[in-house]
Amino acid sequence: MSVFFALLPAYLLGSMNGSLMLGRLRGVAIRQHGSGNAGGTNALRTQGKWFALGAVLIDVAKGWVAAAWLADLPRLLAGGTAAAIPVWLAAGCGFAAVLGHVLPVWHGFRGGKGAATLVGALLALDGSLLIPLFAMWLLVVTTLGYVGLATIVAAITLPCYLLAVRAGQPPT
């Protein structure tokens, strides 16, 4: 039951979309512009680089907060002392935040792709995992020019990298 007190807040945090929040502050309904997506690419194309940067930073931060801090919530609620956060719980909270971004309860379960939130969670879990992910993303974007395809290929690269390079290694 205590795991619930980490996963639920992580999901709810993930459900808060950066570009939708910034859009409300600016009086912009981001889904009514460009591709209709509430992600960073559409924010960049329709609202400019500073708006997009703010939206992406919010989405990265919520993934990081979920994996780094919310995983410790059950221990804090129980009044426990300092202890190592189990890797599986930190990863679960990161996943819950990504799931919240993709299927947000606050926005009718219509969310984004979750890439920026995943980047934040990976930063909290093991930042070195971003190297193969970004390398593949950059390769696809520069050669084919499609951000969405690059994001999908990068997401597929991560488990392949873990199986090929880190199989059998204990998590850090």
Q: Would you call 58 exposed, middle or buried from its count of C-beta atoms within 10 A (0-12, 13-18, 19+)?
A: buried
Distance CA 3, CA 105 (A): 20
Structure tokens at 36: 């209709």
CB 8 within 8 A of CB 16: no
Domain residue spans of the chain: 4-126
**Paired tokens of 141:** 């974007």
Q: 101-135 burial string, b = 16+ CB within 10 Å, else e?
A: bbbbeebeeebbbbbbbbbbbbbbbeeebbebbee
Give pLDDT, residue 1. 46
**Are 103 and 109 contacting, i.e. CB atoms less than 8 angstroms apart?**
yes
Q: What is the pLDDT of residue 171?
A: 59
Instruction: Name the stretches of the chain with pLDDT < 50.
Output: 1
pLDDT of res. 50: 94
Cβ pair 63, 112 in contact under 8 A: no
CA distances from 34 to 14, 16, 123 (A): 23, 21, 30
Kindly state the tokens that stand for 5. 């007190």
